[in-house]
Structure 1
Amino acid sequence: MAGPASDYDFGLYYEPGAPLDVDALRKAVAPLVEDSSPMVTPLGEWGPWINGGGWLTIGGAKVDLLYRDLGRVREVIAEARQGRISMNYQPGHPHGFCSAIWMGEVATCRPLHDPFGRIAELKNETWPYPEALRDALIARFGWEVGFAISNAEKAAQRAEQTHVVGCAYRALCCMAQVLFALNSRYLINEKGAAAEAASYPITLEELAKAQIEIWSRIGNADAEGALLRLRNLANGMAVLVERVGSKG
């Protein structure tokens, strides 16, 4: 779903017994970048789920390097295939970092250099989309939609605008997780996820329009109207999940 304003993300996968040589990486990118001091971090710098990387500008384009430990990626994919996922705090992901993101990255990436076929081998584990993962995501995030809205409604009574916004965002992101799963699609970033989910075969027809209306109402201090619209979406999603049912 890349657009003209998208950056380029390069995943740098390494075996745990042979970690990346970050000093050599810095030297390799130095002649290419336009940044006077390009950011290339040590391993583990950005936390356990995005465990470091680089923010670069090359030829006028924004380029991100993202480190990935193949040992942990293999473990996460094996767990996800059994319907076991985790939701984790991670800077840059206000919705949270769902462990299944790593599986989705492998499923959707385009290998540029895979001399030992490690990524190709893991790709075989990601398709077809596992039914156990589908059911787990629907169960994990489906209930939270209504829970987030209820919290927002309580906050609205106290005029806590920031909390209303956070809960509304949470509800829409959880809704996107459910819709992605219903369509057997991997959600690898919450940015634009709700709008993308609105384009899928199994979706809520009014989702794209409703999302715009919800944020407009919140911006105009009409939390009650925004949350009523959001609650109607949640009710529609519940009906959709019940109609489609679980394949598992």
Structure 2
Amino acid sequence: MAEPVGEPRVERLISDLLPVVRGFSAGPCGTALGGSWAKGGADAQSDVDVYLFCDSVGPRAERDAMVVRAFGAGAEPHSWGADEPLDQCGTDFAVDGVRVECWIRGADGVERTIAACREARIERTLSVWAVMGFFNYVALADVRAMRILDDPGGRLAGWKSLVDPYPEALRQAVLRRFTAEAAFWPRNPHYLSAVERGDAIYTSAIVQQTVQSVIQAVFALNGEYFPGEKKLASALGALAVQPVDLTARIHAILFPGAAPDAAMLRRQQSALAALVDEIAALAG
């Protein structure tokens, strides 16, 4: 029977795969453990996330071949993204039944992102793998949480010193942007008329967008980086400053549990407006 996924097994796994991951780089590199194993929230379904920071990387076919040589064809490697010019790409594979995701980032790009965020320049990139788009400051959350494995010259440690604490200018910029975005829809006449028509497809997108803006604002209120879209209920529960029963109210707004007629959509709109009003009050 396979050994349960746990800290000792993950430590051994990291020791085995690090030489392969380092070999993906075509020059100097740094590595770190990220994701839930670095943050302390891993469970039996958690992947092992390894970050590779470098200036150049080998082609996808070569990286896949290196994984197969090290761990066999059963590792089923899959490399994605652009190798050149290097911004971000990756090589994912499996070892002893554990899924490994190696996220490869251009080191210079990480430094540019940190500089932009410290100057309160928010960037949002639409991407199929990030439901609401990828916000540049999520990279700062990853840097702060990551556990450094290899750091020649201390480059990664230097990044960590820049992202902790949360830059106040960035916090204010996120708060301004997303309290405004959250307030846009709840009493908008186009939304209200769609509610009366029972147009659930249109209103569902409005509700999701508004809830996500509320979530962004709540993290900024607390001086915490938005950590990404997974396991948000747990992350929200750890925040000190938030509307009462926030997570339960979000669940109730998103999943009203009734047929999407005008009466249900009115209740949903009213609950959404009340939540946005509370966020505005907390933000001052």
| TM-score class normalised by the smaller sequence | 0.7 to 0.9
1:228-248 Cα deviation digits (max 9, x unpaired): 111111111111111xxxxxx
Q: How many residues get paired?
A: 237
Gaps of at least 5 residues in structure 2 are: 1-40
Deviation, 1:183, is: 1.2
TM-score, length-normalised on structure 2? 0.75
1:43 aligned onto 2:85: no
- Which of 168, 183, 192 is 1:131 aligned to? 168
**2:65 is matched with which residue?**
27
Shift of 1:23: 4.1
Change (3 A) 1:205 1:123: same
Which residue, out of 91, 97, 115, partners 1:78?
A: 115
- Do the aligned residues in 2 keep the contact of 1:22 with 1:40 (CA within 8 Å)? yes
For residue 153 of structure 2, give the secondary structure of its aligned residue in structure 1: coil
Instruction: Measure, in 2, the Cα distance between the counterparts of 1:145 and 1:194.
Output: 19
Amino acid at match of 2:245: E
Q: CA deviation at 1:60?
A: 1.8
Please say if residues 208 and 254 of structure 2, whose CA atoms lie closer than 8 Å, have aligned partners that are also in contact: no
SS in 1 for 2:166: coil
Secondary structure, counterpart of 1:125 in structure 2: helix
Counterpart among 199, 214, 217 of residue 160 in structure 1: 199
CA distance in 2, matches of 1:35, 1:206: 46
The separation in 2 between residues aligned to 1:33 and 1:217, in whole angstroms, is 48
Aligned-residue identity in percent: 24
Amino acid at match of 2:157: A
1:238 has 2:280 as partner: yes
Distance in 2, Cα, partners of 1:33 & 1:139? 51
Asked if 1 retains the 8 angstrom alpha-carbon contact of 2:75 and 2:95, the reply is no
Judged with a 3 Å threshold, the aligned counterparts in structure 2 of structure 1 residues 56 and 219 are, in CA distance, closer, same or farther, namely farther
The match for 1:52 is 89
- C-alpha displacement of 1:57: 2.5
Are the aligned partners of 2:64 and 2:91 in contact in 1 as well (CA < 8 Å)? no
1:23 and 1:44, CA in 2 relative to 1: closer, same or farther beyond 3 A? closer
**Is the CA contact 1:153–1:164 (under 8 Å) kept in the aligned structure 2?**
no
Q: Does 1:144 align with 2:186?
A: no
Please give the alpha-carbon distance, in whole angstroms, between the structure 2 residues aligned to 1:97 and 1:138. 17
Q: 2:226 aligns with which of 180, 184, 187?
A: 187
Question: How much has 1:125 moved relative to structure 2?
Answer: 0.6
1:81/1:2 Cα in 2 relative to 1: closer, same or farther (>3 Å)?
same
**For 1:87 and 1:169, how far apart are their aligned partners in 2?**
17
Distance (Å, rounded) in 1 between the aligned partners of 2:164 and 2:127: 27
Stretch of structure 1 that moved more, 166-175 or 189-198: 189-198
Q: Distance in 2 between matches of 1:132 and 1:100?
A: 12
Structure whose residues are more often strand by fraction: 2
Contact 1:173 1:194 in 2 (8 A): no
Deviations 1:120-142 (A, max 9, x none): 11111101211001001001111
Q: Which has the larger radius of gyration?
A: 2
Moved >6 Å (runs of 4+): none
TM-score scaled by structure 1?
A: 0.85
